[in-house]
Structure 1
Amino acid sequence: MEITADPDALGFVPERLSYIPGYLKDKYIKSGKLKNFQLTIGRGDDVALFAQAGVARDDGTPIAADTLYRIASMTKPITSIAFMQLVERGLVALDDPVHRFLPEFSDVGVYKGGGGAVPFLTRAPDASMRMIDLMRHTSGLTYGFQNRSNIDLAYREQKIENWHGSHDLDSYVAALAALPLEFSPGEAWNYSVSTDVVGAVVQRVSGQKLDAYFAEHILRPLGMKDTFFTVPKKKLDRFGDCWTWNPKAPVLTDRAENSLWGKKPKLLSGGGGLVSTSADYLRFCRMLLGRGTLGDVRIVGRKTIELMTRNHLPGGGDLTKHSRALFSEAQNAGTGFGLGFAITDDVAKTMIPGSQGEYYWGGMYSTAFFVDPAEDLTMVFMSQLQPSNIYPIRRELKTLIYSALR
């Protein structure tokens, strides 16, 4: 990745922009908190800053511009774009009931009691789960790692989210639908496997496997040649290790050379399964900033991007009002949720510099991105430490980047 234009000409204060890499190195690399980082800041079609530091692997292999990262939940916006392509073709609609395409959900109930050794008791939902509920995480589904209910306990016990287990997308949907919802669809916001279910809808409606659909309709057209569910053997040497936080020092928990990402998963996770590079994901962000286009390639229409990046939470509320999640990739106050992204709805309430209408998300391995149409600004941050909420690095990055604008 190369800086393509003078930061001063792009509207940055050069001294302030150049301060950011040193800050990250001193606070996170030299201290040992992170093993590596890559930061890309773009304005329009240009790259104003690209910085990196640290090691890609535990053996000391240095980070490189083309290092491959597990992007986890930064897969979600790609799956959401895939779904909206099908909406544009008239094959599905946001207000369609999910059971129209996934009949397994026809009789799903809402939790009333039980769990563990006691059979679940359920009641009929107050409203049918619609596609928009999957897209904005108001479906009533959950994640096994939430550790807050008997339902997510059942997810863990049944190993529903194991990509290399017994489930493909079809049996995965059936297993989810056999368990209760945490609440009636539309009643609350809960970070969940909803986007994985969106991936199942994309697969059934398109008639293509999810990886094949992504490749044909999004990745190849955008030139994202290093984004995939399985790292090809010829690219494994570029794949980085992954660490887990420990109070003494990060602990290596996924070694690249024998990682499961080097093997084709049985379950294609539209919610978190992709590997990518900084350069590839910047191309995706530039497409979003271009309101659905990158160069001569149109992925979705501009009005589709406008729709996706509005706050779709019921009543226009924020996550403080609606969220029931213990774990989230978003700050709550002033933050709404669109169709695949968190949305900055009230900058003052977030208490972080930004713009109304800016949208973003991140991944559990400490990756993050944002797109700010008002400032023609994009950011992609890559690292490989889980969980992502240990350090306030996303808040710090936004503060540093916005303070560098003229």
Structure 2
Amino acid sequence: IRLLDTYRNIEIITKVKGENKGKEQSTPQETFNFIENELLQSVPNLPTNTTLGVNGLGRWTKGAAMSLLSRLYLNAKVYTGQDKFAQCAVVCQDIIDGKYGSYNLESRWDAPFDYNNGTSSENIFAFPSSFGFTHWQYTSGMYFWSYPVNTPQYFGFTDYGNMNPKFSLQPGRDINDVELSTTLGKPFVKFQKYADDVRLKKYKNLGGSKREGMFLFGYLPYKNASGNTVNVEGTKGYTLYIRDAVGYFLNTPPGVAPSDKESNMNHADQNSGIPSVKYPWYPSDDANKIASSYAEIRLAEIYYALAECKYRTGDKAGASTLLNRVRSRYYPAASASLYKTDGSSLTDQEILDEWGREFLTEGRRRTDMIRWGVFNKGTWWDKQPDADN
């Protein structure tokens, strides 16, 4: 599915031994049909998560295979030109109803990503991970390259040395702290739209394999070797104050705009851009450090896919109910941040924004934007639309 999603025209290889030449590329429709058939044929022979119990981590199940089918159907229109939202809705409803196994949404937002998420009732498929074995999502190719160099001082996790600030969230504000006028991007601003979201707290380790918050911003205090509380510094000696903007801030205090007004991908210091901390970085002395499995498919995705299918048929109330089933864990009871039950809170842009909030840094944003027809349209921070596709 990832290959189809990225390239459309790919080779379907079903035999390797004795072959010395690749096949001709298949059309998107041929690849779609192949994937659909493979999934439907495999499901009767797969176990359920209830059958496997604690041995189910990393195993493909009926629920996981049908979840892949829901992804295929949800994006069928852009893959083949023919929508299958109705078929997607049926598959999603069956998964939610327990036809392919027993799954439930977690009441804590971070439970699907915590150290014991291998047994999370929300995770339909996860890649196993542990400190002493495979833990690829924590390594240099992914989240380890998402934080300023000296952030391990704040986390208290020093086993791997310093980090690398290669990635951060696209900024939502300009160099003068004014919100960007673009519709696309601005993920942190879109979280702040609902200010009582518990995920908006600054990430902090609480001890005992517990944490709060999903973002790093502002100062990052820690106790140094002398027992004094100091703030994390950048590699050039300036004290970090992380902002939702990009530029050379250096020691510029909060609330003050730097004299250097340049802001682009090639002109930034370690104060620039909000990092997301979806998977916990527990301290080096925590028994459950680097133990989270990578959640590839969550039940929340099935709720969101079904909600989108309902929205597309005009059932905004039904879509709101489904989305709020997931979103209710982020806000206080009866919060105004929950969608109105009549569906009037929802628009195309809000649906797309909500996909972005729920699945931030989970590797599906490009797919969702293409499905909604905005991936190669509009203006982003530091990115004008190209003349072609």
When normalised by structure 1's length, the TM-score is: 0.26
When normalised by structure 2's length, the TM-score is: 0.26
Q: Please identify the structure whose Cα radius of gyration is greater.
A: 2
Task: Looking at secondary structure, tell me which structure has more strand per residue.
Answer: 1
Instruction: Report which structure shows greater RCO (CA 8 Å, sep ≥6).
Output: 1
